[in-house]
Structure 1
Amino acid sequence: MDAQSDNKAMDLVVDLDGTLIATDLLWESTFQLLKQNMFYIFLLPVWALRGKGYLKHQISLRVAIDPAILPYRGEFIAYLREEHGKGRRLVLATGAARRFAESIAAHLGVFDAVYATDEIRNLTSTHKTKFLLETFGDAKFAYAGNSKADVPVFNAASEAIVVAPDRAAAKWQRVHSARLFEAPKTSWKAFFKMLRVHQWMKNTLIFVPAILNHEITVLPVLVNAIIAFFAFSAAASAIYIINDLFDLPLDRQHARKRNRAFASGVFSIPFGLKVAIGLLILAGLLAAQLHWTFAAVLVLYLIATTAYSLSLKRMLLIDVLTLAGLYTLRILAGSAANQIEGSFWLLAFSSFFFLSLALVKRYVELQNTTLVEKNRIAGRGYRQADREVVAQCGVASAFAAATVLALYVNSDAVVSLYSYPWLIWPLCPIVLYLNIRIWILAHRGEMHDDPVVFIISDWRSQIVIAIGAALLLYGGMRS
């Protein structure tokens, strides 16, 4: 019998989660359900008590997935299309909910049959093995899977194909020398990108109160600020991960965000949750070393940023005001870490300055999105018609920040804190230069979609900031 007729004789049964796609639809759909309404968290355990199949079925009734944007295993999909072209019968057999499995099968167009979980039966592991043996009877079948749950099916199949295996499946593959489709290699770079380590630069705002109070060189103050910085950074990275898990469908429709670790399937959702929990524990342990008010600010930050991720970022203007507030909370955290009295001037300046940057972020999103006039950006509350108003508000906020700074420079507080108050005046045009240049570049279409990241990486901004820091340092020197 030639190879082609042998392929036709042996059906190839394919798993879905982790095998055909680099994600798990139960996890994804659960996060999408909670994003719709967090109160579903109370129904999930009730459904689970009636069985995992019932849980998956109930979630699938309330959540829709778009099969066109899922992270498919490209090399394995190409192999399936080749086998289908040869006339081989392909079967999708998955523990995912039937509605999801059927929509994916219809999108790919290579499967001749679909077997999936329903409200009574959870088609995984031994249940899948039993079902396939009953379905195929004495006929041989090949099976493609990826996880520990697939090992019983591998043992029952006449041929096994292991795709992007976990530890148990990889061990089975080595012992049985089965055909292997390897997953793309992960790296520390991908891990640090998942944590958004480059965003930790935002948390250097924690040092600002100690710097402006001329206490940053006092060792206990510096140590407290460093502890606060890493506590905030750990908490922020945890929230970035959780936010990514809620935003998977939106990220996959974005030109850049679709390459993020979870949207592209580089890391699994359970792995991300473990890392996020670990980071939150680390943040709590670090916060416990400081005054309780720092922990209070950190908890407020976690609540605010979670609310932003789940709801507030879809609200017109509330989203940018929240973003500006989150930056200001970092400054308050720096004050709380060392029990430095908060400055009205600093908080007012921060609010306007970062409101301007938040509006830049929305302006760039509007600029880079092709929309029908009355449609909103995916996951946002803005329309194309809002772009000029957003720009006007952003530029006005930039000038408001410079005005607050000018009033501060002319106040009695500057005279008491700085030996050379006149050296602080150039900070006003410096702030205007930073902000207005960003707006001009945004108007030209040359701005990164995160202006803070742009400032961190732009050498002109770095030089101007360094000049401003030098003026602050020298102006505060005692004669």
Structure 2
Amino acid sequence: MQTLSAGLEKLGSNDLRSITVDLDGTLVFTDMLHESALCCFKNNPLSIFMLPIWIFQGKAKVKKELALRAATLDVGCLPYNLQLIDWLKIEKGNGRKLILCTASDEKIAKKIAGYLDIFDEVLASDGALNLAGQNKAAKLAARFGDNGFDYVGNSTSDLPVWKKAKEGVVVSNSRNLIKKAKLHTSVKKVIYPTKLNFSSWVSALRIHQWLKNLLIFVPLLAAHQANNSASWIVLFLAFFSFCLCASSVYIINDLLDLQSDRNHPRKKFRPFASGEIPIWVGCLLAPALILVSLFISQFVGGGFLPWLAIYFALTCIYSLGVKRLILIDCLALAILYTLRIVAGGFAIDIPLSFWLLAFSTFLFLSLAFVKRYAELKSHRRNTDEKVHGRGYVASDAPLIEQLGISSGYASTLVLALYLNSENVTRFYRTPEFIWGAVPLMLLWISWMWLQAHRGNMNDDPIIFALKDKLSTVIVIALFIVFIIAEV
């Protein structure tokens, strides 16, 4: 009887012992200080000048001020630790009391607790006390006593808290942290987040998008100077400079577009949106990439650097707001594509013809419309619903399709008119063979839009074309046509 009584008493104490849960990096795979800062500075860039004043008043004050200015922060789309949440729901069903205990500001913590609706209480920083490390340990020990609670954490700053806890849950891939946690408390469970790997960095830098920068080489080929080795070297330097600049912009765009990406069925898995790569890493990596890009551009010469700067400025403007302007966003994308060709021409001092610029503008405008149409196509078919982060509604899809097809055919018309220009007879020995390029271009434009119409197109037509077999065949056929016409 005594043994049974002791067992029931022990079971009852476990049931009554509260589970305190950390927020940043534990309940969510991100840091709410960084999230609120990004949201605050995005809404009001001038507020960054207030940051030194807040820092002087303490970290808790910084969190409070940022939380007050991050009203548009959508906690419903944050990258939550679903494995942990499922376990917490089971424990709550067993009668355990759940407490969200975090160093994040109480305004954000209560908002998240209200959204999840599983916590019985919230303990958080209040603008005066930063509830982290020793402060958190002292607060919980005073509230529940030593060994009077269990704690779920993810970092070395949680070690003082685990020391006061009866049992602990570790959310981390770090063997060293798990080992240290076991020295401080009884670790009953370890939750392993998704590991940061090489593919995460490839995705963050959008290395597959570097293929678009091959447009830099178009002026050299269009001018029939493919045998100029010095120009090839210059353009390779320009290519890598452009790639690093583009990756910098992609990171900036991802950071500014976190909430839109998290509401997208596929983009929510991007490294920054999913919390796989911390926000602060992106904030350091983006300027580092642009600095290296500018350094490489010094060796390119010509008029390349001003056009690189124009491209960077326009892409930043696009990310900050132009992409939300209906139709103008597609025109901006077409200009950004064409700027790659312009930059390549200035890098090797080759003048660009009217025909090349007109053809590329119409062609890339069509591809920009494909990109936007694909997004609308994958969106829920609610004719009155606005696409998150864009200026379009789902019912705009048919109009975008018409505009895109018209632009694509217009590019083919420019190519046909080019065949009657004097440049053709100057560059090609048998220019009549180039007429074969016209039906090939019509076929490719029609094929791309047919795939988009059927819902087979991802939201990037360039990447789709690189993987598409018919597109590959058409590109080879175009190459053969121009070779025959020249030799």
TM category, shorter: over 0.9
- Looking at structure 2, the residues matched to 241 and 294 of structure 1 have their Cα atoms a distance apart, in angstroms, of 23
1:409-436 residue CA offsets vs partner (Å, 9 max, x unmatched): 2211222222232232222222222212
Matches within 5 A, 1:72-471: 72-138=80-146, 140-164=148-172, 169-170=177-178, 172-173=180-181, 178=187, 179-291=189-301, 293-370=303-380, 372-471=382-481
Paired residues of 1:323 and 1:355 also in contact (CA < 8 A): yes
1:163 deviation in Å? Answer: 0.7
Aligned partner of 1:69 in structure 2 is: 77
Report the residue type matching 2:111 in the other structure: S
- Looking at structure 1, the residues matched to 175 and 272 of structure 2 have their Cα atoms a distance apart, in angstroms, of 19
Report the residue type matching 2:52 in the other structure: P
Paired residues of 1:195 and 1:241 also in contact (CA < 8 A): yes
- Looking at structure 2, the residues matched to 413 and 327 of structure 1 have their Cα atoms a distance apart, in angstroms, of 24
Report the residue type matching 1:387 in the other structure: A
Report the residue type matching 1:464 in the other structure: I
Aligned partner of 2:3 in structure 1 is: none
1:52-109 residue CA offsets vs partner (Å, 9 max, x unmatched): 2222222222323333322121222222122212212221111222122112212222
SS of match in other structure, 2:27: coil
Paired residues of 1:207 and 1:216 also in contact (CA < 8 A): no
SS of match in other structure, 2:303: helix
1:313 deviation in Å? Answer: 0.3
TM value normalised by structure 1 = 0.93
Aligned partner of 2:4 in structure 1 is: none
**Which deviates more, 303-312 or 281-290?**
281-290
For residues 6 and 420 of structure 1, do their structure 2 counterparts lie closer, same or farther at Cα, with a shift above 3 Å needed?
farther
1:171 deviation in Å? Answer: 5.7
- Looking at structure 1, the residues matched to 159 and 305 of structure 2 have their Cα atoms a distance apart, in angstroms, of 46
Paired residues of 1:173 and 1:180 also in contact (CA < 8 A): no
- Looking at structure 2, the residues matched to 292 and 6 of structure 1 have their Cα atoms a distance apart, in angstroms, of 76
1:268-311 residue CA offsets vs partner (Å, 9 max, x unmatched): 21233333333223312221211152122111111111111110
For residues 137 and 4 of structure 1, do their structure 2 counterparts lie closer, same or farther at Cα, with a shift above 3 Å needed?
closer
Aligned partner of 1:58 in structure 2 is: 65
Report the residue type matching 2:154 in the other structure: N
Paired residues of 1:251 and 1:257 also in contact (CA < 8 A): yes
SS of match in other structure, 1:426: helix
1:257 deviation in Å? Answer: 0.9
1:18 deviation in Å? Answer: 0.2
Is 1:20 equivalent to 2:27 in the alignment? yes
- Looking at structure 2, the residues matched to 333 and 171 of structure 1 have their Cα atoms a distance apart, in angstroms, of 54
**Which deviates more, 116-125 or 296-305?**
116-125
- Looking at structure 1, the residues matched to 317 and 136 of structure 2 have their Cα atoms a distance apart, in angstroms, of 40
- Looking at structure 2, the residues matched to 292 and 132 of structure 1 have their Cα atoms a distance apart, in angstroms, of 64
1:449 deviation in Å? Answer: 1.8
5+ residue gaps, structure 1, are none
For residues 90 and 348 of structure 1, do their structure 2 counterparts lie closer, same or farther at Cα, with a shift above 3 Å needed?
same
Paired residues of 2:244 and 2:293 also in contact (CA < 8 A): yes
1:168-213 residue CA offsets vs partner (Å, 9 max, x unmatched): 7356236557342222223222321222221111111011111111
Paired residues of 1:371 and 1:377 also in contact (CA < 8 A): no
Paired residues of 2:146 and 2:166 also in contact (CA < 8 A): no
Is 1:32 equivalent to 2:31 in the alignment? no
**Which deviates more, 47-56 or 347-356?**
47-56
SS of match in other structure, 1:80: helix
5+ residue gaps, structure 2, are 1-6
Identity of counterpart residues, as a percentage? 40
Calculate the aligned-residue CA RMSD, in Å.
Answer: 2.2
SS of match in other structure, 2:227: coil
SS of match in other structure, 2:47: helix
Report the residue type matching 1:26 in the other structure: L
- Looking at structure 2, the residues matched to 446 and 213 of structure 1 have their Cα atoms a distance apart, in angstroms, of 36
1:230-280 residue CA offsets vs partner (Å, 9 max, x unmatched): 111122122112211111111111111111112222222123333333322
Aligned partner of 1:44 in structure 2 is: 51
Paired residues of 1:142 and 1:157 also in contact (CA < 8 A): yes
For residues 347 and 161 of structure 1, do their structure 2 counterparts lie closer, same or farther at Cα, with a shift above 3 Å needed?
same
Report the residue type matching 1:79 in the other structure: W
**Which deviates more, 190-199 or 17-26?**
190-199
Report the residue type matching 2:405 in the other structure: V
For residues 175 and 408 of structure 1, do their structure 2 counterparts lie closer, same or farther at Cα, with a shift above 3 Å needed?
farther
- Looking at structure 1, the residues matched to 18 and 468 of structure 2 have their Cα atoms a distance apart, in angstroms, of 56
Paired residues of 1:146 and 1:165 also in contact (CA < 8 A): no
SS of match in other structure, 2:19: strand
